């Protein structure tokens, strides 16, 4: 999703009775403020969430929204679906129709799902260059051995795409359960990695993305991200 940005003079002409040529004088007369600061150039960028005031009239008060959801099973990670309920059905927010999903979870996968109306932020979270660790709790059908740890760290070759997964950190919690952290999101990657050992994933639950963690958020519930979570830009790279 693209972020909407335009020059100040174009924005003023599109959202007021003034023309582009009027904008230079408006700036000189100190009649325009951007995010609480007087405008200083007609070329200043006005983003989707820039607070723009002209002569005490607010021209843009659009606010960014950042939400985490603890996704239950049986919901589609989409904003619309003709056959199944979607994760958006669980969100109660006046701007919910603006939201898009940041990194999907499969139909039967549970856990942390992020939603926003901020395209810049979602691209940063999803970009492979950011290398944010996604951490999952996994329950398997067969016991694991220490060999799993070494193989996951080395990377597993997916013949169909002719790619090798990036090193992943596997912590074995018990014979049948583990915590897995990885920095990429190939198609059904977790299930396919354990499939290398012919070990079926019985349940998969995402607990964190970078430094953003579910904490005690109950299944099916959502909340807005805190300034501290946003200030960390979703965490350190791994």
Structural domains of the chain sorted by starting position, each given as residue range(s) with its CATH number in brackets:
6-60 (3.10.290.10), 66-231 (3.30.2350.10)
Catalytic residues: 106
Closest CA to 208 of 116, 137, 122: 137
pLDDT at 108: 94
Quick one: average pLDDT of 81-104?
90
Residue 235 reports pLDDT greater than 60: no
CA 129, 125, 62, 226 dihedral sign is negative
| Tens-digit pLDDT profile for residues 46-87 | 988 899 999 999 998 788 999 999 999 999 998 888 888 999
DSSP state, residue 71:
E
CA distance 106 to 111: 10
| pLDDT bracket for residue 232 (50, 70, 90) | low
Q: How far is CA 45 from CA 6, 7, 70, in A?
A: 6, 5, 36
Strands (E), the chain: 6-7, 32-34, 37-38, 45-46, 52-54, 57-60, 66-71, 100-102, 110-116, 134-140, 157-158, 163-164, 169-172, 177-182, 201-209, 212-213, 222-224
pLDDT at 3: 56
| Tens-digit pLDDT profile for residues 122-173 | 988 988 788 899 999 999 999 999 999 999 999 999 988 899 999 999 999 9
Tokens of 58: 């607010």
């Amino acid at each position: 999703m693209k972020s909407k940005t335009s020059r100040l003079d174009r924005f003023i002409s599109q959202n007021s009775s003034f023309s582009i040529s009027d904008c230079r004088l408006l700036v000189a007369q100190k009649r325009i403020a951007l995010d609480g600061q007087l405008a200083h150039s007609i070329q200043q960028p006005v983003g989707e969430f820039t607070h723009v005031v002209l002569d005490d009239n607010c021209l843009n008060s659009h606010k960014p929204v950042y939400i985490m959801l603890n996704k239950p099973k049986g919901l589609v990670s989409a904003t619309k679906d003709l056959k199944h309920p979607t994760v958006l059905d669980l969100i109660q927010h006046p701007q919910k129709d603006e939201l898009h999903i940041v990194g999907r979870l499969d139909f039967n996968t549970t856990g942390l799902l992020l939603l926003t109306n901020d395209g810049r932020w979602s691209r940063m979270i999803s970009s492979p260059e950011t290398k944010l660790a996604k951490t999952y709790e996994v329950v398997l059908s067969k016991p694991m051995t220490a060999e799993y740890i070494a193989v996951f760290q080395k990377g597993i070759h997916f013949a169909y795409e002719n790619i090798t997964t990036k090193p992943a950190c596997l912590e074995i919690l018990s014979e049948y359960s583990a915590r897995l952290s990885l920095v990429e999101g190939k198609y059904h990657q977790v299930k396919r990695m354990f499939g290398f050992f012919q070990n079926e994933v019985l349940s998969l639950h995402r607990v964190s993305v970078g430094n953003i963690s579910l904490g005690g958020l109950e299944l099916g519930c959502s909340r807005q991200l805190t300034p501290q979570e946003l200030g960390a830009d979703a965490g350190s790279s791994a």
